[in-house]
Amino acid sequence: MSLLRAWSRDLAMGARFACAGGREGWIRTLLTGVGVGLGVALLLITTALPSALAARTDRGDARSTVGSPTAEHPGPDTLLVARSNQTYRGKDIEGTLVQAEGPKAPVPPGLSRIPGPGELAVSPALKKLLQSPDGALLRERLDGRITETVGDAGLTGPSELLFYAGQSGLDANLNRVERITAFAYERQTERLSPLLLLLVVLTFVTLLLPVAVFVAAAVRFGGERRDRRLAALRLVGADSRMVRRIAAGEALAGSAAGLVLGAGFFLLGRELVGGFDIQQRSVFPADLDPAPWLAALVAVAVPAAAVAVTLFALRGVVIEPLGVVRTTRPSRRRLWWRLLVPLAGLGLLTPLTGRGDDGGEFNRYQVSAGVVLLLVGITVLLPWLLERLVGRLRGGPVSWQLAVRRLQVNIAGAARLVNGIAVAVAGAIALQMMFAGVEGEYTVRTGEDPTRATVSIILGSNVQGDPEQLARQVAGYPGITDAIPLRSVSAAHEPVAEQGLVDVTVGTCAALREVAQLDSCKDGDAFWATGGSTLGGSYGGRAEPGDKLYAGNVRGYEQDVKPVEFTVPATLRTVPSRPDPVGVQRSGLLLTPSVAPGDTGGYGAQQIFVMTDGPAQEGLERARTAAFKASPLSVASTLHTTRQSRSYSTIRTGLFFGATGVLILIGTSLLVSQVEQLRERRKLLSSLVAFGTRRSTLSLSVLWQTALPIGVGMALAALFGIGLGAVLMRMAVQEVRIAWAEVAMMTGAGAGVVALVTLLSLPPLLRLMRPDGLRTE
């Protein structure tokens, strides 16, 4: 009882000191609060991220038609849908064509009714884009009457671009048109592969650990001043246990302020997140909702950690009535137990080597613990390493000497300053190595060749008008050098055939040169292309000169469309095929227009390769618009050499978000402690200036003082990052390859933070160097 009372009394007194204590006092509490608050906000965001992503996925699934129940025949509850995704100025727009077949047709989520023919329902972001001058070209494409705005329930994020276009000409027989009776999608959770799981674990650990280190540093802002105040309390009769409790109370007040500020920052950040749009992904503020138990955990853990850190920091300190005495000389830092920590981490990770192979399983706790121990190893080894290195330094110019001596006196403080950044950089290096290694695995080479064509348009099978006419129109747009139409259709020796089908590609000589190596070509020529890898010969069909073939509806899908008869010209020559710009290597018949079969009634595919010379934004947009007008089922895709797995780029986006936050956070903490340290030395700085010290000397010494520990920290971080990366890659059965560019980039980022912090601490330094500091207050 009395103990409890003593605790509550002393904690309360400490809290009072934190809030009162004049301007200095509350500024210090505010700094601590801001520091802890930033950490808390980041923690809350991180804990809210999984649920936010889940909410996104849920809504995405809810409107998906991929696994929707379908119907054979039109009914009162059927809806025809087709995807019509668009690209506009590099942005992806998700589009769905809808056509209700009955009064009870399912309404997409976020809409009150199905848009009628010519009507358009758009997301708020798309509506804004369409109404802005930037969206003028897009408005030509999506020229329907906007009758409704898609509600949040139908969107994954606030800045998502999405539309539903009401149609009248859809037909369930058309390619890519589905007849569904409901939206929603039976989720089949895609299990993360062990490798991706490893990456996720690593990302979270790498982000959260520096935050923890940072919060620990933040509660110690103003430590020296606090020590003096505690000494004064001893003088008036507080015993040593009381002052420890009072110190704990101060830390508690600071962290409580931090929790409040953190909640504020979080709410503010949440609102800001709504306006953010990274790689076209955005998050609804309402989705960013940490699980209550996680939030509660943060609310309890942060103050508890603050008190623990404070008591731990006071462990080697005796607070005497006349001042603070460090017990004896702090003993030389020992290496052995410091080495044990990373070695234990390594010990946990090594047995997992090679488990990342297909179907392998990682114990995720073992992985996390191993990674945490390895990274924490940096924070325990760094003080030792700094002591060894800095302790030996002698000589050098005055600025160097001032910095080195200052560091020698306070190794722990310097290490504390750098720990967070070193852990973040080490983790980021390991991650970068993993990504670099995994990139090959999760990045697909598409085979597309953007140098040959910029955009490939596959026209919808219900295309209106003549594709050749369309191609000529597109070729006339600004910046477009050429637009080459190609028609592909199946042919057979019988009007209805199951086997022996022959691929027929129809185009001008210029067009055919894109798919085969032709020595000479004139209209009327016909070729037999060989060597195709994907299509063509796959049906095993063969055509000889003079053969009579049927093209189009040769599989007998529809009774009312008859195949078109044509004759293979006698001049048929055999040529080797080559991959077309999208990477497809065709074989089969290649026909110039005059010997080609006539209209095949919607069977076969019309493709147009659009070539540009340099960027041709406007021309390409108009080409896409023309394709959409010709048929909303057209697909116009921009050619890329590689395409990344979606999960991979999501994790990388997460890492990017997190790394930015952590760097900003640590930069802030560095700056705050730097400025605070300068304030405490105000009188000394003034007297140094009095006897003629150049401002540049003092500024340089501030730079050294940060740069030296950061340099050591970065070296250690690089070492551990590479080591951790190597271990993890071996676990994932990846070839260990050190991504030096990434290592340089990450350590460079750390160095950049130092430079920035030094730069930002110069104005207060210059102000503190003014002679006012000599005046006795």
The residues binding another protein (CB under 8 A) are 395, 397-398, 401-402, 405-406, 408-409, 683-684, 687-694, 697, 771, 774-776
For 611, the token pair is: 């070539």
Q: What is the largest CA-CA distance in the chain?
A: 114
Burial class (CB in 10 A: 0-12, 13-18, 19+), 771: exposed
Q: In this complex, which beta carbon is closest to another protein, that of residue 237 or of residue 692?
A: 692
Q: In this complex, which beta carbon is closest to another protein, that of residue 321 or of residue 545?
A: 321
d(CA 208, CA 216): 12
- Residue 224 C-beta: closest distance to another protein, Å: 11
Q: Are 516 and 590 in contact (CB under 8 A)?
A: yes
* Number of CB atoms found within 10 A of residue 181's CB: 17
Q: Considering only CA atoms, which of 316, 282, 324 is closest in space to residue 124?
A: 282
Q: Are 47 and 276 in contact (CB under 8 A)?
A: no
Q: In this complex, which beta carbon is closest to another protein, that of residue 122 or of residue 689?
A: 689
- Residue 222 C-beta: closest distance to another protein, Å: 18
Residue 123 is classified by DSSP as: -
- Residue 701 C-beta: closest distance to another protein, Å: 10
Q: In this complex, which beta carbon is closest to another protein, that of residue 464 or of residue 687?
A: 687
Q: Considering only CA atoms, which of 128, 102, 45, 718 is closest in space to residue 427?
A: 718
| Integer CA distances (angstroms), 142 to 121, 617, 628, in order | 10, 17, 9
Q: In this complex, which beta carbon is closest to another protein, that of residue 135 or of residue 413?
A: 413
- Residue 37 C-beta: closest distance to another protein, Å: 32
Q: In this complex, which beta carbon is closest to another protein, that of residue 19 or of residue 690?
A: 690
Q: Are 586 and 578 in contact (CB under 8 A)?
A: no
d(CA 662, CA 656): 10
- Residue 398 C-beta: closest distance to another protein, Å: 5
- Residue 408 C-beta: closest distance to another protein, Å: 7
- Residue 683 C-beta: closest distance to another protein, Å: 4
d(CA 517, CA 81): 40
Q: How far is CA 239 from the centre of its chain?
A: 53
d(CA 623, CA 608): 10
Residue whose pair of structure tokens reads 């290592």 in the numeric block:
743
- Residue 328 C-beta: closest distance to another protein, Å: 13
Q: In this complex, which beta carbon is closest to another protein, that of residue 102 or of residue 396?
A: 396
Q: What is the CA radius of gyration of the chain?
A: 34
Q: Are 692 and 755 in contact (CB under 8 A)?
A: no
Q: In this complex, which beta carbon is closest to another protein, that of residue 336 or of residue 691?
A: 691
Q: In this complex, which beta carbon is closest to another protein, that of residue 284 or of residue 400?
A: 400
Q: In this complex, which beta carbon is closest to another protein, that of residue 207 or of residue 688?
A: 688
d(CA 679, CA 702): 13
Q: In this complex, which beta carbon is closest to another protein, that of residue 398 or of residue 756?
A: 398
* Beta pairing, strands 573-576 & 526-530: parallel
| Phi, psi for 497 (deg, rounded to 5) | -140, 145
Residues pairing with 550 in the sheet: 492, 565
- Residue 405 C-beta: closest distance to another protein, Å: 4
For 411, the token pair is: 């190794």
Q: In this complex, which beta carbon is closest to another protein, that of residue 261 or of residue 411?
A: 411
Which residues lie below 8 Å from residue 182, measured CB to CB, with a gap of 6+? Answer: 68, 69, 106
- Residue 390 C-beta: closest distance to another protein, Å: 12
Q: In this complex, which beta carbon is closest to another protein, that of residue 160 or of residue 227?
A: 227
Q: Considering only CA atoms, which of 651, 715, 765, 712 is closest in space to residue 53?
A: 651
d(CA 37, CA 218): 10
Q: In this complex, which beta carbon is closest to another protein, that of residue 9 or of residue 405?
A: 405
For 179, the token pair is: 């007849």
d(CA 714, CA 707): 10
Q: Are 149 and 186 in contact (CB under 8 A)?
A: no
Q: In this complex, which beta carbon is closest to another protein, that of residue 341 or of residue 707?
A: 707
d(CA 766, CA 186): 64
Q: In this complex, which beta carbon is closest to another protein, that of residue 574 or of residue 776?
A: 776
- Residue 223 C-beta: closest distance to another protein, Å: 16
| Phi, psi for 404 (deg, rounded to 5) | -65, -45
- Residue 697 C-beta: closest distance to another protein, Å: 7
Q: Which secondary structure element, helix H or strand E, spans residue 303, and what is its range?
A: helix 292-313
Which residues lie below 8 Å from residue 224, measured CB to CB, with a gap of 6+? Answer: 680
- Residue 693 C-beta: closest distance to another protein, Å: 6
Q: In this complex, which beta carbon is closest to another protein, that of residue 37 or of residue 773?
A: 773
Q: Are 579 and 518 in contact (CB under 8 A)?
A: no
d(CA 709, CA 257): 30
- Residue 700 C-beta: closest distance to another protein, Å: 12
Interaxial angle between packed helices 194-218 and 364-392, expressed in degrees from 0 to 180 and rounded to the nearest 10: 50
Q: Considering only CA atoms, which of 756, 746, 673 is closest in space to residue 713?
A: 746
For 640, the token pair is: 């890329």
